[in-house]
């Protein structure tokens, strides 16, 4: 079983010893890098493409996740750049995602279009509890300080959210806001993968603080945490996280044809 790391904005690159590979899927072609570490192969998938040229609402999420499945990936860690609508989470903080609210509009959200019968996916633990627990247990080894757990709000993008929208998300229990984690998280669950994600807080959401959202500030916040997080992921994935400590592989329920 291979492992994978999915990276977004400015995520720390892997070593030069990685081998590039193009994977052809029914949904399109995906370019990845594969690194051997501790006897295990770790796949690095750049969510926006290797040149970071694909905006969040046009990412081919199904191709990305199917490519990992075809590469026999069972464990996935991901990073997401997020804005904070929780006054307890400031720019520069790192949080562990535990649940999500989906406000995307036009994305392909499932592999189950009816041709394979009626299937439903259990999302009671959308971000694998076992992988999340390992992050908390081993964070100190890489000097990573997680500020806490967070509910992720996914919006369509590519625009940022209005102050009124942020007020609504806060009232519904959202902590951080981004544009990329849905449908990635539920597609991983449909494929039986263990998937967990960390959010790097890059900025205050609209209306949470005075001033405009500045791209320089976003990239600066990413730089502070991306290398430590990626190395923490690699430490965990170079061992055997265990498939018997969660229910991810059995999340899809088949209701018949």
DSSP 221: H
HSE-CB at 28 with a 13 A cutoff on CA atoms is 11
Under the banding of pLDDT at 50, 70 and 90, the label for residue 112 is confident
- pLDDT for 184 equals 97
Dihedrals φ, ψ of 163, to 5°?
-60, -35
- Residue 73: other Cβ atoms inside 10 A: 24
Under the banding of pLDDT at 50, 70 and 90, the label for residue 254 is confident
Under the banding of pLDDT at 50, 70 and 90, the label for residue 222 is low
Under the banding of pLDDT at 50, 70 and 90, the label for residue 219 is low
CA distance 3 to 1: 7
CA distance 112 to 98: 24
**pTM > 0.85:** yes
Report residue 125 as tokens: 């633990």
- Using alpha carbons, select from 66, 11, 80 the residue that is nearest to residue 44: 11
- pLDDT for 10 equals 46
What is the set of domains in the chain, with CATH numbers?
2-254 (3.40.50.1580)
Q: Which residues contact 210 (CB under 8 A, 6 or more apart)?
A: none
Where is average pLDDT lowest: 140-149, 165-174, 224-233? 224-233
Query: How many residues belong to the chain?
Result: 257
How high is the mean pLDDT of the chain? 90
- Using alpha carbons, select from 217, 175, 219, 220 the residue that is nearest to residue 199: 175
CA distance 221 to 58: 24
- Using alpha carbons, select from 171, 173, 179 the residue that is nearest to residue 218: 179
* pLDDT digits 0-9 by tens, 29-60: 999 999 988 788 999 999 998 887 899 999 99
- pLDDT for 9 equals 52
CA distance 124 to 225: 29
CA distance 4 to 190: 16
65 burial type by CB count under 10 A (0-12 exposed, 13-18 middle, 19+ buried): buried
Q: How far is CA 217 from the centre of its chain?
A: 21
* pLDDT digits 0-9 by tens, 90-101: 998 999 999 999
Q: Are 205 and 83 in contact (CB under 8 A)?
A: yes
CA distance 182 to 189: 11
Instruction: Compute the chain's Rg from CA coordinates.
Output: 17
């Amino acid at each position: 079983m291979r492992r994978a790391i999915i990276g977004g904005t400015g995520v720390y690159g892997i070593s030069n010893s990685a081998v590039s590979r193009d994977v052809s899927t029914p949904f399109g072609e995906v370019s990845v890098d594969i690194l051997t570490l501790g006897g295990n192969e770790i796949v690095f998938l750049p969510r926006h493409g290797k040149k970071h040229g694909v905006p969040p609402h046009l990412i081919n999420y199904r191709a990305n996740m199917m490519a990992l499945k075809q590469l026999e990936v069972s464990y996935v860690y991901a990073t997401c750049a997020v804005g904070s609508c929780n006054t307890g989470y400031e720019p520069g903080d790192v949080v562990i995602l535990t649940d999500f609210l989906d406000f995307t509009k036009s994305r392909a959200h499932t592999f189950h279009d009816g041709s394979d019968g009626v299937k439903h996916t259990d999302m009671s633990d959308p971000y694998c509890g076992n992988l999340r627990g390992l992050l908390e247990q081993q964070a100190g080894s890489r000097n990573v300080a997680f500020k806490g757990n967070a509910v992720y709000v996914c919006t369509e993008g590519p625009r940022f959210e209005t102050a009124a929208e942020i007020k609504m998300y806060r009232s519904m229990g959202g902590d951080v806001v981004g544009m990329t984690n849905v449908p990635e998280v539920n597609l991983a669950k449909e494929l039986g993968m263990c998937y967990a994600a960390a959010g790097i807080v890059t900025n205050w959401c609209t209306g949470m603080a005075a001033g405009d959202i500045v791209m320089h500030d976003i990239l600066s916040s990413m730089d502070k945490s991306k290398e430590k997080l990626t190395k923490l992921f690699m430490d965990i994935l170079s061992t055997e996280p265990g498939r018997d400590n969660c229910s991810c592989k059995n999340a899809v329920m088949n209701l018949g044809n």
